[in-house]
Amino acid sequence: MKNLKILMLNPPFMKYYSRQSRSPCVTKSRTLYYPYYLAYATGALEKAKFEPKLIDAVARKWNKEETAEYTKKGKFDFIVLDTSTPSIFNDLEVVKQIKKELPESHISMVNTHVTNLPEWTLNQSKAVDSVCIGEFDNTVVFLAEALSKGKEMEKVPGIAFRKGNKIEKTKERQLVENLDDLPFVSDIYLRHFGEKQIKEYFYASIQWPEIQMLTARGCPNCCSFCNIPMKQSYRARSVANVIKEFKFIQENMPFLNEIMIEDDTFPAKKERTIELCNKMIEEGIKLTWSTNARVNTDLETLQKMREAGCRLVCVGFETPTQTVLNKIMKGQTKDMQVEFKKRADKAGILVNGCFILGLPNDTPKTMQATIDFAKFLDSNTSQFYPLMVYPGTNAFEWAKEKGYLSTENFSEWITKEGLHSTVINRPELSSEELVKWCNKARLEFYGKNPKYWLKMIKQTIKNPKEGIRIAKGGATLSRHLIKSVFSKDAKVKK
């Protein structure tokens, strides 16, 4: 049995580029996500008695050459490399450079893009030996065991791999049934990154320093545009297991100001949510945390979440227009959105509102209605994205079928600076015009809204931790807002 040297790599790309985001990009608020799925898989390898190295080259600000040099010095046998749709061609170049330094290494790519396009990915470069399809925690363990014992790739479920001049796919791997079997990702961060690197990560609506973790995987819903893995496959960790990790964080990471629970929909199961929150209260968990929620979360659940330390919920409102909501299978109405915001306010929980412009059935009139609605809701923070379609989503198939994709060159999913863009070109709404609408939305919500900044000043005076968050995210956002104001193409077509 070979003593395998393993590298789990979030490869270099642009400064502050977040592959793990639902919409991978460089944000206008300086957000940088943790590579948390890669970290969980690192822990799965450790549990199987391997000794992997977890490296986030983006957080370390490494370039391709520095990364390739590190892999060469480490003489890694097995390299698991994270990727995303907008960064895929860059990531393939990183694979090529590593392979040049370590021609005998096995390089496997992971995450949603290669899951949805496994054959395409392998056909792009012979330097890629395999791709993991779907949830990859156990897949990389089986791959590592096969490589260390000289077993054939056919015996590893959940991969596509190159065999001579052919590409073969193995049988589908089952999802992790018991999430309690996975490690505490907080422990992985602490041991592999340390406090210094942890402070490189930032989430614009969350108090810094922060970490991101999961208490459940999958989502019971299926919004047409959503790029998350494992939709409609909700599985939760036990309450006891989650409490144990919270205690670990409380005891070992006192420098943190907040936890972002990145469950796709944290309060998806009311009974479990109430039970977990009650246990946090009973066990004396004093952590501040935020999470993702939907507008059907009731007042009782929100109040219990607040009592257990919840500060903010990220909510996908997307649009108030019913014909648009129906088209994207959102399963909500404008009245539900308004009533949810009232409930959140009553419970004392802040809201980060997420909105998408350029959805199917959107028009200039409905997009202005979305902007006006965001201002009416007056969330603590708001995000405005153009519709970005990813392989494997219904939205991608819709755009392709309608002939709305201006290109299938995935590097054009973002701008040269890494910012959100769109490749959707509809006859009545060009991609350039859609990006302008998003700039307009930010200007109206933030730049031309003195009441908003007065609210932020009051928040800072009340809680200096909020001031740090506002300063870090606001400095970057302000530069983009000023640029939008003076841009020659700032005005949209009505």
Question: Which domains does the chain possess?
Answer: 6-169 (3.40.50.2300), 203-486 (3.80.30.20)
Structure-model confidence comparison of residues 329 and 300, the more confident one: 300
Query: Given this model, what pLDDT does residue 163 score?
Result: 86
For residue 484, name the pLDDT band (cuts at 50, 70, 90).
low
State pLDDT tens for residues 65-117. Answer: 999 999 999 999 999 999 999 999 999 999 999 999 999 999 999 999 999 99
- What are the residues whose beta carbons fall under 8 Å from the beta carbon of 297, sequence distance 6 or more? 267, 313, 340, 343
Reported as half-sphere exposure (CB side, CA atoms, 13 A), residue 254 has a value of 1
- Map residue 260 onto helix, strand or coil: strand
380-434 pLDDT, tens digit per residue, is 999 999 999 999 999 999 999 999 999 999 999 999 999 989 999 999 999 999 9
| 451 alpha carbon, distance to own chain's centre | 30
Place of tokens 């009340």: 462
Sign of the four-CA dihedral 114, 117, 119, 124: negative
What does R_g of the chain's alpha carbons equal in angstroms? Answer: 22
**142-156, 212-226, 413-427, 480-494: least confident range:** 480-494
Gap between the Cα atoms of 257 and 209, Å rounded: 6
The arithmetic mean of pLDDT across residues 323-345, rounded, is 96
pLDDT tens sequence across 274-286: 999 999 999 999 9
| 175-222 pLDDT tens trace | 998 999 999 999 999 999 999 999 999 999 999 999 999 999 988 887
Judged against a pLDDT cut of 60, whether residue 488 lies above it is answered with no
| pLDDT for the residue numbered 474 | 73
pLDDT score for 486: 59
Measured CA to CA, the distance from residue 412 to residue 414 in angstroms comes to: 5
Question: Tokens 């819709």 identify what position?
Answer: 398
344, two tokens: 């959140």
How many helices and strands (H and E) does the chain possess?
A: 18, 15
* HSE of 163, CA atoms in CB hemisphere, 13 A: 10
CA dist 203 and 20 (Å) reads 12
CA–CA dist 411, 396 (Å, integer): 16
Distance in angstroms between the alpha carbons of the first and the last residue of the chain: 67
What is residue 387's predicted lDDT score, i.e. its pLDDT?
94
d(CA 169, CA 132): 10
**pLDDT confidence of residue 448:** 82
Residue 124 · residue 96 · CB < 8 Å: no
pLDDT cut 90: percent of the chain above it: 82
Distances in whole angstroms, Cα of residue 57 to Cα of each of 36, 82, 97, 269: 14, 11, 14, 36
pLDDT-derived band at 227 (thresholds 50, 70, 90) equals confident
pLDDT at 382: 95
> In whole angstroms, what is the distance from residue 449 CA to residue 456 CA?
11
Phi/psi for 392 (5° steps) reads: 100, -10
How is 5-59 classified by DSSP, letter by letter?
A: -EEEEE---STT-BTTSSS-B--TT--B---HHHHHHHHHHHHTT---EEEETTT
Q: How many CB atoms lie within 10 A of CB 149?
A: 10
The pLDDT assigned to 456 comes to: 86
Tell the burial category of 331 from Cβ atoms under 10 Å away from its Cβ (0-12, 13-18, 19+). middle
Q: State the pLDDT at residue 380.
A: 94
The per-residue pLDDT of the chain, averaged, comes to: 93
Question: Per DSSP, which regions of 436-482 are E strands?
Answer: none
Query: Residue 220: CB partners within 8 Å, gap ≥ 6?
Result: 232, 234, 265, 268
Q: Taken in order 368, 372, 377, 382, is the CA torsion positive or negative?
A: positive
User: Quick check: helix, strand or coil at residue 259?
Assistant: strand
Report CA 450 to chain centroid distance, whole Å: 31
